[in-house]
Structure 1
Amino acid sequence: MSLTNFLEQQNLNQDLIIAGKHFKSRLMLGTGKYKTLNLAKYSIHASDTAIVTVAIRRLQDIKIQTSLNLIHALNWQDLWLLPNTAGCTTAEEAIRMASLGRELSKKIGQTNNNFIKLEVIPDSQYLFPDPIGTLKAAEYLVRKNFAVLPYIGQDPILAKQLEEIGCSTVMPLGSPIGSGQGLYNIETLQIIIENAKIPVVIDAGIGTPSDALKAMELGADALLINSAIARSDNPVKMAFAMKLAVESGRIAYLSGRMSQKSKAQASSPVQGIVH
């Protein structure tokens, strides 16, 4: 039996399903902070991602050419656009940006793309999301038939409320945006994952492939990574490393780790040994 057939039998190649759409990769990529357009393109290719997120507000700034060119440079037959409302400080702003994001998806040929990554962040220092504004905007956008992927703090109650109003995922932070600090409050993340009946995508704070591996081992359904790749010394290599980490972590989670014990246990059995 080939390895591919074995993995298929073990159900280790499960698709990520968001709002009824299937994705082969569980790694989503952000498109900001790359030094050049080519680095962004090659990193996206190396990561084997299926979903890339672009800030709608950034696209409105004609001075930032990389994002503008990236929209035209990528093959949208192979990638799914996730517009995001980054930079919005109120629910009302985020709702306006979401409408523009849906129009952008149509312009690149994804006429059935209603995905929106919802960010409402009034805090300019620590970039923590506003839970009340996020819930308010999410309720409105769900009613308008958006597939809402809300970025939130590590709040299990808010995560469940967003699920109950019809959001397609919840996206709790691992640690503050762009900090590269890895996973804070792992126990709280586990509560969110265990209680969720929709995909949980850990977003923000991933710094290394080992962070990505740990997040997937916890049972996260996917990760969204930007700074850890774009700000590394070699973004293309780091994108490939993150791809492997996400895949390995997912398989490890599905495999089930051994139980931890307080005392050592010999690797070789003592029964049947000839003295």
Structure 2
Amino acid sequence: MVDVLQETQRAKLDPTDDVWFYSYPRFVTHVDENFIARLTELLRERLPAQSRILDLMSSWVSHLPEDVEYAHVEGHGLNEEELAANPRLDHYFVQDLNRDQHLPLPDQSFDVVLISVSVQYLQYPEAVFQELYRVLKPGGQVIVSFSNRMFFQKAIQAWRDGTDSSRQQLVKRYFMAVPGFSSPEVVAHVPANSWLSILGMASADPFYAVTRNLLDHALKVPQKTDLAKCPGWDAHFEPLSLPFQSILSRGTLPCPQSSHPAPVCHGCYPRTAVSAFFPAPIATRLPHPASFDGAQT
């Protein structure tokens, strides 16, 4: 994990306890209806039904599409009354991430993590994003959405001093601080009248989302895996000259014993997961050589 922020950039204008600041429930939305509609539509497009979702830094509303059912939605926030009023949450917990970044959640237990209009308040985002990596399943995704609104006194200096463009780059750097995330995608919609806000006039909220997948998250070997009993590998033959991300985008899963992302070890991952990523026409059975170095021939 790499430090993205300098200590001064983590500072808030209001250094008082965040738990105290958020102790009074706020049953309001902090962005306009256009922003909320775009966020809900993005979630509809990106989140499969029956996903397990972690809604981090949530409140009384999650902005999930109402007509889609999910296997489980876990909520997190700083105000228990707000979380209790959120009808989409199956369970929730209260925790100050600026005091304790470790999430009380099992490894690889969620398909999706959402952070909606709250990332600007994280003082130790590097450690939090490391935890997101830990709790996500292979192939899972993170969607971080934000606008130009904030509790100014509680946002970190790096966010307060930034522009909309630099904030997008900052969130991308949070992801890049944790080895294992794929290349980021930025979804942006800036209303034509957004410049009016510079003059103090009413304007529509700009919408930004930075998303990343964990297709290479499978490099982690399950603790109970016995590689000595591995039945063999399937290999997806891709030229080595292709960029790593190009290979990952085709759905290949790496064997943890190989330096190349193409081999898939059935001894490391369930066969059902492997077959989903490897249709029969592009999978070739290989023997199990102990000295296999991942080279493609």
Verify same fold: TM over 0.5.
no
Higher helix share: 1
TM-score, length of structure 1 as denominator length: 0.29
Decide which structure has greater strand share.
2
Which of the pair has more CA radius of gyration? Answer: 2
